[in-house]
């Protein structure tokens, strides 16, 4: 969107008089679709994950988040629902459709741990 794109170019707004009654609905629908696009590029953290990360001293740098978001996007493109993402010494369970980190653990908690209710795993370097 840095190329100067305008929302109207992505989602044309209907402005013809005979469709005036539909315009409000279409604008709401368009803003919902736009919000969904924005949400798809964002990684959210559940309250549980935030607490675990704070307790375990896990901090993610912006470049780390970018790699993780890209991994979630790739998992989504392959139809994954719940993924284990291992990045350096951090493991996260991510609900892919909602782009939400459900829980996170550091290297100490990963050892001899069983991960259940996942359908995919992504190992990042």
Q: What local confidence, expressed as pLDDT, does residue 37 receive?
A: 57
Same domain, 83 and 104: yes
- Is the pLDDT at 65 greater than 60? The verdict is yes
Read off the pLDDT of residues 9-23 as tens digits, 9 standing for 90 and up.
333 334 344 444 444
The answer to whether residues 56 and 101 belong to one domain is: yes
Q: Is residue 79 situated within a structural domain?
A: yes
Residue 1 has pLDDT above 50, yes or no: no
- 30 lies in some domain: yes
Residue 62 structural domain:
44-124
Do 56 and 81 belong to one domain?
yes
pLDDT for residue 84 is more than 60: yes
At residue 72, does pLDDT exceed 80? Answer: yes
Q: Are 82 and 118 in contact (CB under 8 A)?
A: yes
> Are 14 and 57 in a shared domain?
no
pLDDT at 12: 35
Residues 6+ apart with CB under 8 A from 73: 40, 41
pLDDT number for residue 3: 42
> 98-123: per-residue pLDDT in tens?
999 999 999 888 877 889 999 999 99
Q: Residue 49: how many CB atoms within 10 A of its CB?
A: 20
What pLDDT is stored for residue 16 in this prediction? 41
Total tally of structural domains belonging to the chain: 2
């Amino acid at each position: 969107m840095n190329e100067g794109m305008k929302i109207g170019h992505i989602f044309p707004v209907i402005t013809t008089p005979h469709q005036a009654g539909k315009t409000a609905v279409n604008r709401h629908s368009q803003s919902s679709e736009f919000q969904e696009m924005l949400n798809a590029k964002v990684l959210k953290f559940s309250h549980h994950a935030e607490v675990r990360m704070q307790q375990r001293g896990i901090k993610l740098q912006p470049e780390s988040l970018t790699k993780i978001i890209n991994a979630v996007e790739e998992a989504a493109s392959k139809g994954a629902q719940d993924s284990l993402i291992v990045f350096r010494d951090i493991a996260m369970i991510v609900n892919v459709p909602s782009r939400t980190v459900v829980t996170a653990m550091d290297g100490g908690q990963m050892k001899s741990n069983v991960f259940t209710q996942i359908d995919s795993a992504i190992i990042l370097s």
